[in-house]
Homo-oligomer: A and B are copies of this chain.
Amino acid sequence: MNIEISKLSNGLTVVTDPMAKLESAALGVWVSTGSRNELPPEMGLSHMLEHMAFKGTTSRNARQIAEEIEAVGGYLNAYTSREQTAFHARVLKNDVPLALDIVADILVNPTFAAAELERERQVVLQELGQARDTPDDIIFDHLQNVIYRGQPLGWSILGEEATVAAFTPRALRDYSGRQYRADTMILVSSGAVSHRHIVAMTEEKFARLATGSAGRTPPAHYVGGDIRVEDDLEQAHVVYAFPGVASGDADFYVAQIHAMVLGGGMSSRLFQEVRERRGLCYSIYAFTNNFQDTGFTGIYAGTGETETAEISAVIAGEMEAMTGAVSEAELARAKAQLKSGLLMGLERPGTRAEQIAGQIFTFDRVQSVAEIVAQIDAVDGAALKRYGTGIMTQPSMAAVGPIKKLERHDVFAARFAHKREAAE
């Protein structure tokens, strides 16, 4: 990788990541703000702002934004997470200047027109309804909410109907003025790009960007708890969680490998035990969620009503087993999976740009592939045992669907009480 990083005079970070042989590029701006940066009446405002960025600037209306990028066959998209908002484009190489111009325009010159907000409010309310109709989507919101109870990190990215209904153009401008500042934004381009050109264009197009730093991100910590939503579905959706680590933690790759061994692929313990040996689930996997200052390890299971009676004990058993020995073969396999995932991701410009932005936010620099591989290779059985034991203290759970037979959370949590006592 031949990454170059420049900091413009206004504070904006510009990164280029040229990829030989590519005829296209991915280009975007990542903003270090998301739902955890919202005040209570702003729940969902980061996401609404992401939508409204496409609804018109001082020189382009919504239709022109869509038509200009699609006229060259490009894609323009955006997403909001709990800590980031991203605006990104995929274009063929000759259209990089156009993509950069449009991305800059929607970030620097949005109008947040009242009439557009009224229409887009209806669209977002529908998006909210759709999320609520999707149990394996909404369940992760429920989980986040109980883990970070009473904290902005626990809020839903889409917000609440009441807050979305009350958003005003003024609220968008206030939030944007507070959070969309040069110091908290990174422009990354991967693919058929040249640093000199990108920097020159960015200097010009982002000249009017507000300088300085954004408001402080409120700290968060794992509280934990459980939520059960009984519903007349064919499948039950259950997700368990345990306290994990932050994105920049020294144990980040320990947590990744722990999740991989536990439930990261077809050869993982959970897949083999729960799906292959017992036929209990169509879908089961482990994952980690990592934020600036906190994180968790989770296990998702989609299962039938009858099978819910059995699932908690099996998962508790596999969690317990992870406090013991992990075989050399399992460890080697998990490392190979992480490393090949990393290498294959390097072949996709969109993935590269996103990872570069994430690393700069976390470490203020880009880690080399060799450095990441070394961190993966350094994880050993002792570290996994330590991590696997340490996270057992405080389980959380969210469940949706036909869950009458699912073990009560206090019973499930009691399975881990001895670990908690040992840790205290």
Residue numbers of A with Cβ under 8 A of B are: 20-24, 54, 62-63, 65-67, 69-76, 90-92, 118-130, 132-135, 233-235, 265-267, 271-272, 275-283, 302-304, 307, 329, 332-333, 336-341, 343-344, 347-349, 401
Chain B hits for A348, CB < 8 A:
347-348
Chain B hits for A62, CB < 8 A:
276
Whether the pair A23, B267 counts as a contact (CB closer than 8 A) is no
Q: What would be 30 A-B contacts, judged by CB atoms less than 8 Å apart?
A: A22-B347, A24-B343, A24-B347, A66-B267, A67-B267, A69-B266, A70-B266, A70-B333, A70-B337, A71-B267, A71-B332, A71-B336, A73-B337, A73-B339, A73-B340, A92-B344, A119-B277, A119-B278, A123-B275, A123-B279, A123-B281, A126-B235, A126-B281, A126-B303, A126-B307, A128-B234, A130-B235, A130-B302, A133-B233, A348-B348
For the complex, what is the distance from the CA of A420 to the CA of B305, rounded to whole Å? 48
Chain B hits for A278, CB < 8 A:
119
Partner among B120, B275, B333 whose Cβ is within 8 Å of the Cβ of A67: B333
For the complex, what is the distance from the CA of A277 to the CA of B356, rounded to whole Å? 37
Whether the pair B281, A63 counts as a contact (CB closer than 8 A) is no
Which among A20, A76, A90, A123 has the greatest number of chain B C-beta atoms within 10 A?
A123
Chain B hits for A21, CB < 8 A:
20-21
Whether the pair A70, B265 counts as a contact (CB closer than 8 A) is yes
> How many copies of this chain does the complex contain?
2
Whether the pair A91, B340 counts as a contact (CB closer than 8 A) is yes
Chain B hits for A76, CB < 8 A:
266
Whether the pair A74, B303 counts as a contact (CB closer than 8 A) is no
For the complex, what is the distance from the CA of A63 to the CA of B339, rounded to whole Å? 21
CB distance from A392 to the nearest CB of B (A): 26
Partner among B120, B135, B266, B277 whose Cβ is within 8 Å of the Cβ of A279: B120
Q: Which residue of chain B is the closest to A400 with respect to CB atoms? A: B133
For the complex, what is the distance from the CA of A75 to the CA of B345, rounded to whole Å? 13
Whether the pair A130, B234 counts as a contact (CB closer than 8 A) is yes
Whether the pair B271, A130 counts as a contact (CB closer than 8 A) is no
Chain B hits for A70, CB < 8 A:
265-267, 333, 336-337
For the complex, what is the distance from the CA of A23 to the CA of B282, rounded to whole Å? 32
CB distance from A185 to the nearest CB of B (A): 23
Partner among B92, B126, B134 whose Cβ is within 8 Å of the Cβ of A340: B92
Which among A54, A65, A266, A272 has the greatest number of chain B C-beta atoms within 10 A?
A266
